Amino acid sequence: MIKKTYFLPSEYNLFSYEAVRSTMITARELANKSGEIGTIVWAKNQTEGRGRQGKSWVSPPGNLYFSFIRESEQLSKNLLFSPVYITSLSLAETIEEISSSSIDLFIKWPNDLLVNGSKIAGILIERFLSFNKKDLLNIGVGVNVNNSPNNVGYITTNLKKENVNISPKDLLLCFFENLSRNEKKYNTQGLELILKKWKKYSHNKGDKLKVKLGNNNLEGIFEDIDKNGALILLLKNGKTETIYAGDVFVL
């Protein structure tokens, strides 16, 4: 089999490091100096990686850790979830593309990727104003390529364990090829097309879910994703709840 060569699309600018505290910290520092969108920070090691809600992201060597800067208004157009869906869809398509055989890939709303029920990747998105008042998004991605962190409170896996062999750099470049294509589709056709493709990887109508909202839990049945990307949960009393943020667990 001829190995495919991947290329970084021209709208991105890649900065690579052996180690950083966090790719998100470094990406934000670079963006604050230049205000440049399309900046990518890739590091082989993070000493202070973090995930959603301030949780630490364990970063053993051999995996893929990167963050990139996009303009908030350009991507979201006042739609709260569009960057989440574009990024997670692109990552799912990337993993599917590089897999030589069928892989049981699942996106757990809104931004965790699982293979065979075990977490393999996560996405964190933060919004901030640059020094020149540009409204920017800092999007961090971590993918378990060769190693799986232990003792993190959930089951993990990695691409190598799932018989997917690729270097972190090739995975990075393949992801940005897919991301570039999906951003162009979003900018011309809107979120509806992205959601249609995203739903193929995610929850089925009727799935039983628990959603943790701070100190409260809601249990119900997955009904749908609305046109703006919020999760619609059908409760036991027959009413629906629209969820904009929370930790989802499949029951």
- pLDDT, position 56: 58
235-244 mean pLDDT: 91
- Tens of pLDDT along 23-53? 999 999 998 887 678 999 999 998 876 655 5
112-138 mean pLDDT: 89
DSSP state of 77: T
- pLDDT, position 47: 87
Domains of the chain with bracketed CATH: 13-200 (3.30.930.10), 203-250 (2.30.30.100)
- pLDDT, position 12: 95
Percent of the chain scored above 90 by pLDDT? Answer: 61
Indicate the pTM of the whole model.
Answer: 0.90
SS3 of residue 152 by DSSP = coil
- pLDDT, position 8: 95
78 pLDDT exceeds 50? no
103, HSE (Cβ side, Cα atoms, 13 Å): 27
DSSP state of 56: B
CB 171 within 8 A of CB 94: yes
210, HSE (Cβ side, Cα atoms, 13 Å): 8
CB 122 within 8 A of CB 52: yes
67 pLDDT exceeds 80? yes
Burial of 195 (0-12, 13-18, 19+ CB in 10 A): buried
- pLDDT, position 247: 86
Burial of 39 (0-12, 13-18, 19+ CB in 10 A): buried
